[in-house]
Structure 1
Amino acid sequence: MAVTPFELARIAAVAADDKKAKDILVLDLSDQTDVCDYFVICTGDNARMADSIVDEIREKIRKNTGLSPLSTEGREGLKWILVDYGSVVVHVFQPEVRDYYRLERLWEDAPRVDVGLEA
């Protein structure tokens, strides 16, 4: 099933929201870099929650698109888990690590995308 990068990012964001991720942010990087089209960034309160968010994202994307990630990194420590789908890269952080790396500030010129989540 063909899915656009935006649709993939939206599915990931909704899945993260379903697992009560906080501060979900989708950045459109399509005009900023050739690495990917979208970053989905979110926070889980602790290791168990971050792991659960990643599982939900992977499951919802597989169920809705048939896609599996190209790679998943960071599941050992669960402080920053990166799930790479090529056109979309999902970052699931624990709060202190997100505050430290501040990806949204690094990519502050990238447009924030509304994917229809409740505020």
Structure 2
Amino acid sequence: MVEITSKELANAACKALADKRGRDIVTVYVREKTALCDYFVLASGSNPSQIRAMGERVEELISKEYNIDPTRTEGVRDGRWAVIDYGDVIVHIFNDDTRLFYHLERLWGDGENLEKYVDPDQD
């Protein structure tokens, strides 16, 4: 297994989500607020097919690049709210309505711990 920090793992997840045209990708640093994990990675997809593809891409990239498999996944096949748990990083992929309803940015973010992902490969 390749050594990787939780920040690097979160960035890899962001890259994978951007590869499948995920929208509004943010990381939320929550280590000082909960023992659950260090980071949440949040993203939106337009439809169930895209949400599935985004979840599959996250798992594929992190497995291939870092030989790390998630400890648990939920909802990837449903396409409304997918959760991919890597221990220190938990990835949430939502449809727009579900993301708006649960608004995890508001629940866990205080502005200082939110970071919007900017894809370095995009012009």
TM-score class normalised by the smaller sequence: over 0.9
State the partner residue of 1:117: 119
Shift, 1:84, TM fit = 0.2
Q: Which amino acid aligns with 1:20?
A: R
SS in 1 for 2:28: strand
Shift, 1:62, TM fit = 0.5
Q: Aligned pair 1:44/2:45, yes or no?
A: yes
State the partner residue of 1:78: 79
State the partner residue of 1:60: 61
Shift, 1:26, TM fit = 0.4
Structure 1 vs Structure 2 CA RMSD: 1.6
What TM-score results when the alignment is normalised by the length of structure 1? 0.93
Q: Which amino acid aligns with 2:15?
A: V
State the identity %.
Answer: 34
Name the stretch that deviates more: 100-109 or 16-25.
100-109
State the partner residue of 1:25: 26
The answer on whether the counterparts of 2:26 and 2:41 sit within 8 Å (CA) in structure 1 is yes
Name the stretch that deviates more: 24-33 or 103-112.
103-112
What TM-score results when the alignment is normalised by the length of structure 2? 0.90
Shift, 1:116, TM fit = 4.6
Q: Which amino acid aligns with 1:16?
A: L
| Aligned residue pairs, count | 119
SS in 1 for 2:3: coil
SS in 1 for 2:114: coil
Q: Distance in 1 between matches of 2:53 and 2:117?
A: 21
Q: Which runs of 4+ in 1 moved over 2 A?
A: 113-119
Which structure 1 residue ranges, 5 or more long, are not aligned? none
